[in-house]
Amino acid sequence: MDSSNLTTAEADFSKLSTNDKQELRQFIANENQKAVIQNSIHVLTDVCWRKCIPGAIRGGKLDKNEENCAQSCVERFMDAKFTFLAHLDKLRQQT
């Protein structure tokens, strides 16, 4: 393929040094990981909010039952996620 068929982004990428390309790949991987974590937090917030906060918040803060429910919900969610990830890691190591 001649360079005239490359898009601007590809042409610019091809001019980077090997080290710069690796740094860019690592940066993109890190940003993707951040996006996954942010999405998990949004899902967690939505699930626990719907489960634990049935109505309006009075007095500017959660009541004790709502607070306990939300804390338990987050803990269960995190425990389940870590258990799932540990299981996937174990499966990956077996392959």
CA Rg value for the chain: 22
By the 8 A CB rule, do 73 and 48 touch? yes
Give the residue among 5, 78, 90 at the shortest CA–CA distance from 47.
78
pLDDT per residue as tens, the chain (95 positions): 455 555 555 557 778 888 988 999 999 999 999 999 899 889 999 999 999 998 888 888 899 999 999 999 999 988 998 998 899 889 889 87
CA angle 64, 65, 67 (to 5 degrees): 65
CATH topology of domain 3-94: Helix Hairpins (1.10.287)
CA distance 56 to 44: 19
pTM flag (> 0.75): no
